[in-house]
Amino acid sequence: MTWKNSKGFTLIEVIVVAAIIAILAGILVPMIFSQIDESKKSRAVGDTKSIMSSILTFKKDMGKWPISNLPNGCIENIDMLTSTGNSPNAFPAGWNQANPSTLSEHLVNANACYPNSVWKGPYMAGIGADPWGNSYMINADSFAIPANAVWILSAGPNGGIETTPTDTVPQGDDIGVRLK
């Protein structure tokens, strides 16, 4: 075997190819992660709109919001509605967390407190966590306060709710829709 006739890559050619691959990776990796972040935000927007649609259908059927004052008194003073997932790590002033209830108890399962003649659910197949593993949150006590907005929110990437019931648009990195 003679080395004169063997063909191969020179060290410079290998370095040039490695540099090109490194440059492409440096450009593509941030773009890919940006797309992943955008897809999470899009999913959160879609989920909040779906929850809003389900709550509006519930109200149309039941004649009231999924909060308190049911004829048989089963549920009293619901302050906050949540989906499954971790509780957000922060809440601003105005979010009453004293009496939470799950969205599933109102929109997915035929709660014994609701008359079967008017509850036409399930209004959603299921309500999971937001893309960051946190619960979707609704400040349900604001249904009874005309000056306050009712928000359906994802805490966003930072995991904390930053929108108050009196805000007109979501604050910080919160993702959501205003129901009322």
**How does DSSP assign 3-30, residue by residue?**
SSS-----HHHHHHHHHHHHHHHHHHHH
The full set of domain ranges for the chain reads: 44-178
Average pLDDT, stretch 118-145? 89
First vs last C-alpha separation in the chain: 83
SS3 state of residue 153:
strand
Q: Whole-number mean pLDDT of the chain?
A: 86
pLDDT top residue among 46 and 78: 46
Instruction: Check residue 71 and give its pLDDT.
Output: 53
Q: How far apart are CA 57 and CA 74, in angstroms?
A: 21
Record: fold of 44-178: Glycoprotein, Type 4 Pilin (3.30.700)
Q: What percent of the chain has pLDDT over 70?
A: 90
Instruction: Check residue 176 and give its pLDDT.
Output: 95
pLDDT of 69 strictly over 50: no
pLDDT per residue as tens digits for the range 47-59: 999 999 999 999 9
Model pTM score? 0.79
Region of 87 on the Ramachandran plot (φ > 0 left; ψ -120 to 50 alpha; else beta): beta
pLDDT of 13 strictly over 90: no
Specify the residue for token string 């989906």. 83
